[in-house]
Chain A
């Protein structure tokens, strides 16, 4: 009897074990398909530029640049497989193979690029487009906020940028100064203080030795909108409200300076530094805003060797400090170069891609290696990498890796509002010997420009759009320079601007409700 119990117990034990084993075997997740089949690249580690090129050449994850236009990341789709643009404005009249523009819906008036992106992310055609493409989608933006992040999460889209909150912190001009100070990257002599009155401002300036001529900036703001030049009480009174309401403003000594900008990418292998670009600012043919950004140039002799070396070193150190602050990836630094002393100062930080990005990503080094933005994608891709950043930076510092290009952002400069009836199409234009400009062919690749007699025009405002003071009409990209050595627009650039603007025709507005007219500067594209 006892034996029998033992045997049956043993059998029961065996049976239970077998059942448990079978159950466990069934519950075991099936062997995952190869990473490549999941839309993942099989590459284990990126160690050099060839690996990086291959990685994105064979990328299977849909990556979307969601923005008003595709301008800022123009051409990245030629480096990254499955890179698509989801835009509000169709600059290409449906002819760009990688641009998706959903039919326009009535919407609240956009106050910002974030609003445009949030509108796009809730648009059924966009939702369908992203969901039907499948995969594990990724989005990159020029601008985004917490609402954008929430919408992306709902749609299962991963945002490949540091969080909006972190970006906002870094974007604060006071914070930029502090991060710079930590990194040993000096700003123009300044004080960061709350200002109560003009007298108080003077007190602060005296205490910090900032002199009589001051520049005051508020924490956030676009170029030309929140920078105040103050030499007298009447200057102060004009902007008093904006200055006093801020908990802290940046008060700088006014220097005789030139602006320059440089883009870089903070990665765990170190900060990659792009070329130093000149800035086109406040040109009356291009912008109604005094001090407003309206383009860039890149050319080998733009700055002295010393200035370039200083700026590059500052960007490198600043980027590494950003990594320490938790920010990683693409960023843009503005520099102020004192014309009297050749001293280089930190200006502003744009913790994002920006209007200068197309210049950086199409400079000669980008074709020799890869566009800087690919390092940003790499940093967020989750792929392991180890790059010789020092070697790359050394190469990109070589003037041979810089060719000469310029881009001009053409805004409507007249103080009127009308409706565009005709607009020049995006494509390549030619300039005749007499300086006149004519449309030559459709294209969406700016590098297809053959010579200085050709230009690529990216149309932004088209037929049916309102033309108002400050409206972006389009962007003109040319080989060679647009400025003279004294940094005024050269004759060729003037001819280009006149020639392109000539193609715009508009009709007056008849009985239009006021609310339908966008307020000047309601949002800007770049």
Chain B
């Protein structure tokens, strides 16, 4: 079981730049989603920002399903500057991978609850870290795409773009860097302050 919590209103507002498309995922019952709060917040956003479409769908973690579900909204999505996703970490990563050239931002932090988890055996994964980093990493999860779960950049171990731990696995930080390069967001790598993970955060308050 996973739990998603909304990021703070201020941080979500700061992400809503330009024309905004919002995607909500009400997919699986294994993920608790704060539906009511999200609704309220999105109403407020629509008042203050240029929200051109709100889409509520399910199982966006499945790339084929996602494509299918979004088909009828593609005219709006093509216009969007920013896509805000309200889902668990896996869903956000799938959307980010689908729209390589768009700024796809996460509005939720994904926490872990003991018990059943992981309903989506796909090539992306969410470690339920409770402080989602995807907004700074081009929608690629540093917790699961990097073998050491590093959050401040690449270690010295990558060789030919592959990870020191597993030669069949692309280095996650190499992927993040290239994605940010493509999005013209390499500034994200220039930290004002080093990130320190909060392991006390991996369970909801």
Q: Do A and B bind each other?
A: no
Interface residues of A (CB under 8 A from B): none
